[in-house]
Structure 1
Amino acid sequence: MLELKHQAFVEEAQRRGHATVAQLRLCFQLLALSSAIDRDCASRLAPHGLSEGRFIVLFLLHGAGGTLPPHELAERAGVTRATISGLLDGLQRDGLLQRRNDAEDGRRLQIVLTARGKRLAGDLFDQHTQWIGGLFNGLDSREQVQLSLLLEKVWRHTDAGQEAGT
């Protein structure tokens, strides 16, 4: 399950007699799982001409009733305004959304899903949630809760987790 670079790291830690080999292996297993999920996600979205970022914009718009201003999309997606502009450009070129002047304030833009964008966003969101949920079908509900608690515990030892706790 480990990537070759991580396996090499574990083997070197073993060779040097480090006591944390088991923890290293756990970390690298988690990284391998995360990478596999990311690759699977990309391969499921690619036939639709979507990246994860473009998919996020579509489902955010769909969930908001099909229209939002660009700054709000950027905020909800957790990206910069420059990044959202690039994502919107590509989605507009593909005919999945349009930019329109706000009816109340002509200086402001509204991003609006096209009919095709609405269909794709709805269908893919349902497919994607089923796929993600299916990743955990091998765990019963007690194991899922336990895994969640364990991941939270590890998260608290990361720099980001410690910053969030302060």
Structure 2
Amino acid sequence: MILRKHDLLLQDSRARDDGTDVDAMELCFELLSLAGAIDRDCAARLRPHRLSEGKFVILSLLRDRPRGLPPHELADGAGVTRATITGLIDGLERDGLLRRVPDKADRRSISVRLTPQGAALAADLGGAHTAWIATLTGDLTMEERKMLRKLLRRIWMRTDAGRAAEPVS
């Protein structure tokens, strides 16, 4: 399950025998490998629909919003920059899945809305994709899920991002 590059780092650490907890390193690398595998599977499931994960998120955010959202709200919701959201919107608009609608009261403002084709894809793919995601941990008992969440949070809090984040209750 560990990538070759990580295996080489582990071998090097074992050879140095400098007191590094190689077992802890190996566990981290296994977690990275799992995250990478999930990302690759996700990309493979979205590819036939000509979607990236970012584009899928945009479709999902707009799915139940017939009046659409302004680009800055899409960027915030997707966790991307405004420059990135522009590229995602451009691509989805080019594919006929959404459109920009000018605000009649304020011509400087626009709303991004799904086209009928985009709404159909969001509805069809949304359910299937979220169901697939749920299967990844679906066979864990509630106690196992609780323990895994607790352990993942402990690891998260050791990352720079975790230490900088708002405290999670």
So what's the TM-score if we normalise by structure 2? Answer: 0.93
Residue aligned with 1:79, SS: coil
Which is further off, 88-97 or 56-65? 56-65
Are residue 54 (structure 1) and residue 55 (structure 2) matched?
A: yes
State whether structure 2 residue 85 is matched by structure 1 residue 84.
Answer: yes
**Equivalent position amino acid for 2:115 in 1:** T
Listed one character per residue, the Cα deviations across residues 89-147 of structure 1 (whole Å, up to 9, x for unaligned) are 11011110111111322221111100110111111111111111101133211101100
Q: Who is 2:112 aligned against?
A: 111
Percent of aligned pairs with the same amino acid: 49
Q: Deviations over 1:23-55 (max 9, x none)?
A: 000100000000000000000000000001111
The count of residues paired between Structure 1 and Structure 2 equals 166
One-letter amino acid of the counterpart of residue 13, structure 1: S
More deviation in 38-47 or 124-133? 124-133
Aligned equivalents of 1:49, 1:106: Cα separation in 2: 31
Within 1, Cα distance between the matches of 2:15 and 2:59? 49
Which residue does 1:120 correspond to in 2? Answer: 121
CA RMSD of aligned residues (A): 1.4
Separation in structure 2 between the aligned mates of residue 49 and residue 66 of structure 1, nearest angstrom? 24
Provide the residue aligned with 1:99 in structure 2: 100
Relative distance call for 1:66 and 1:128 in structure 2 (3 A) is farther
SS of match in other structure, 1:67: coil
Q: Which runs of 4+ in 1 moved over 6 A?
A: none
Are the aligned partners of 1:62 and 1:118 in contact in 2 as well (CA < 8 Å)? yes
**CA displacement at 1:66 relative to structure 2:** 5.2
Q: Is the 8 A contact 1:66 1:118 kept in 2?
A: no
